[in-house]
Chain A
Amino acid sequence: MFTTPSKLRKAGIVGMNWRNVRMIAQYNPRRLYPQVDDKLKTKLLLAKANLSAPELLGVVKTQGNVRELEEFLADCGPFVIKPANGSGGKGILVIAGRDGGKFVKPSGSGIDIAEVRKHASSIISGLYSLGGRSDVAMIEEMVQFSDAFDGFSFQGVPDIRIIVYKGYPVMAMTRLSTRASDGKANLHQGAVGLGIDIGTGRALKAVQNGRPLTHHPDTGKELATFDVPQWNDFVLQASMCYEITTMGYLGVDLVLDKEKGPQILELNARPGLAIQIANDMGLLPRFEVVDAQDGIERTAAERTVFARQQFVA
């Protein structure tokens, strides 16, 4: 049932208090938070640094903008409307195509412009933001998901989470939704956590509810075959986020676009610790390797090379 603190320390596992006191409080100054908490600010930062992310088509800031939506969307391709300050994937409307005057969702059902307007209006009034503060709605290009991960997830497309410590990518994983997790990608609700090797981009270990497994419980796909294409780009993009945010402890979420390659979806200033369970490995030894590089100036590309050499299974 329970283990001892000394065993956890020996395995190099980072606990919540360690994360909060030694990582976040020390390397992520509070004044830097808005640039990752506000997805619009993040998007502008990423664009300025030429990092690839789903392209921002427009921002709906006022109810006046809502009235202009129809005209604005007339010649748009597939798009997504989401709140800049939303959390947990709430309030995201995906429009995959058009059918005459109708906007077609990925599920195939069509809605008309009035419903799109209402959705944008709800976002602005703060329906999906923390504490009900008024928000802005972002319209961005829909990602054309690569089919590389087909069959690995019960619903949706998995994203890749990379932990970047002082600019070095130290650990990665993906979360695969299951029927038990109700299609959600939360590990503690029964999603599968799959550790990804920083060196190769291939699957390491998979766990569900803390127990190891080899095949996806719903799709039956062999999890060991999970292999991220263009892996170096993933790691490099994540690593470059250090320069633009200057946050020392960062979680970077990426997805793979068919044509444009890895796309940064969002950044997280308080990345969770479940990644250790998915990798069956503690973060501390990797932090120590990076700490030993203090004082050595490296570019993002050099850090990526270093990390891929060091953190390989």
Chain B
Amino acid sequence: MSTKQLQLKVIVLVLLVLGIGSVWYKNQVLGFSLTPEKQETVWTVESKITFDGDNAPAEVVLSMPENRKDMVVMDVRNIAPGYRFNFVNRDGERYGVWKSNGPVQGRQELFLRGTVYRRNGNSGNNVSPVPQEIVVDNESLRKAAVDFVASLDRSGSIRQRAVHLLQALTNPVNQDAVYLLKEAKVFGGKIKLARYLMRKAGLQASSVRGLFLGERSRKQKLKGYIEVADGDKVLLLNPRSAEVEDADKFLVWQYNDKPVLEVIGGSNSSVTFSTLSSKILASRAAVAAGKHSGNFLVDFSIYSLPVSEQNAFKLLLLIPIGALVIVILRNLVGISTSGTFMPILIALVFLHTTLLIGLALFLVVVSVGLILRSYLSHLNLLLVPRISAVLVFVIFIYVAIAVISHKIGLSAGLQITFFPMIIISWTIERMSVLWEEEGPKDVLVQGGGSLLSASLIYLVMQNRYVGHIAYSFPEILLVLLAIIIIIGSYSGYRLTELYRFEPMIKDK
């Protein structure tokens, strides 16, 4: 017995750890929200490439934004008739490549659209990698840079020092700054100059190009910014204004020094970007991001099914929760029901009809059915013909309810068809046998117990939070299983027994 008990405990523990662990993982790492209404902002980013065809086959190469921990680019779609499109990897970086099907001439427009989603709880903490630092041959420039850095105030936070450096660089009175800016080309541009100086000043800096995800903006160009590591955060600095910008809304497109766009067989090429923000449900965003990154928990889950099947599972996943309610009501409370899982099926009907209408319809069908069935008792029919006869009665009752309620203008009566006929027939049969064997009191107790259970299950199932958790975290079923196993081996008293055996306690 003790080994059995141990086995049980181990199973329960494993189920709990697996269930709660994967729910935690999906919530914390994959961004699945625990509440149904939580929304996330996503941005649709569209890049538009234009160039003039040179009457030759054209090849267009656009560098792709990086997928980083905090920003996920998903659902990339290409709109460019007459071109073949695919992604290629070069030196570990991703490019989109269009190849024309033949010679092109005149103005060409290519579009690439993607959805960008910022994962919650993962913001920042990785500075873009830094390419090889520039080596400056010019002695006087090198000296000016050293002097410039030496003149800076070395106290204060990293943020203050970085901002201070950029302010000093744009200060027209600073001789070194003016000289360096004039010769910025040697460094590969002003932004790389700023990066060079920051490194010399001991800051961990890198230059990136990207765009801000505004609510609605058109014809943006990629702009250069400087990232500076500040502890476990990343500061995004605008070298033009010497200000710190909101890194949460910045999409890093590129962090190397290579060109963004290359066009072979065309001229006057340019690329512009427009962004549009929208709100979607957090769980949808998480599913899309998970699919995009090929996460196992998302990829091999019900989310990989077609939408119609997903909806079927939305309902199916609620049934174990109904079963848990039944287990609790029967084994912990001690309510008796007619047919073990009949209340779950009735609760599923209530989901269609709403509670009060469902209860009213159920009572009408079962009571009329019981009256008709009582006549069958005199005939002493065998079981299967008896049930079949009840089934025919049930159809008659359905038709009668539907027609009568339709005639008097109660559309609610038409919902009678949601009730599963076989279950209703069996319920009537069981109640009828119970009436004959035990009397009407037991019928009321069991019938009442069944309806009470069905109503409770309905209330649980139609709860938005329960539905959301069951669908977003099917792993919760493992936890459910653990609870059911625990209750299954519970040998304590039921709530109703505290009442049943109470007379035996009183006189002691």
Contact = CB atoms under 8 A, between A and B. Distances in A.
A298 interface: no
Contacts, number: 85
Contacts of B91: none
B380 A17 contact: no
B499 A189 contact: no
Interface string B479-508: 000000000011111100111111111001
A301 to B, nearest CB: 30
Nearest to A88: B437
Contacts of A182: 439
B382 interface: yes
Given A3-B505, A11-B508, A21 B383 contact: no
Contacts of B504: 11, 13, 276-277, 280-282
A182 B493 CA distance: 31
A20 B334 CA distance: 13
Contacts of B383: 126-127, 131-132
A127 B382 contact: yes
A277 B1 CA distance: 30
A26 B1 contact: yes
B441 interface: yes
A276 B501 contact: yes
A11 B505 contact: yes
A90 interface: yes
Contacts of A11: 501, 504-505, 508
Contacts of A122: 380
A291 to B, nearest CB: 13
The range of chain A's interface size is 35 or more
B309 interface: no
Contacts of B492: 5, 15, 17-18
B435 to A, nearest CB: 12
A1 B490 CA distance: 24
A278 to B, nearest CB: 10
Given A5-B498, A189-B439, A189-B441, A210 B493 contact: no
Contacts of A18: 491-493
Contacts of B331: 17
A15 B497 contact: yes
Interface of B: 1, 331, 334, 380, 382-384, 437-439, 441-442, 489-494, 497-505, 508
Leading 9 A-B pairs by shortest Cβ distance: A132-B383, A210-B503, A15-B493, A21-B491, A3-B502, A18-B491, A2-B498, A3-B505, A15-B497
Interface of A: 1-5, 7-9, 11, 13, 15-18, 20-22, 26, 88, 90, 122, 125-127, 131-132, 182, 186, 189, 207, 210-211, 276-277, 280-282
13 contacts: A2-B498, A3-B502, A8-B493, A8-B501, A11-B508, A18-B492, A22-B491, A26-B1, A88-B437, A127-B383, A207-B503, A211-B503, A277-B501
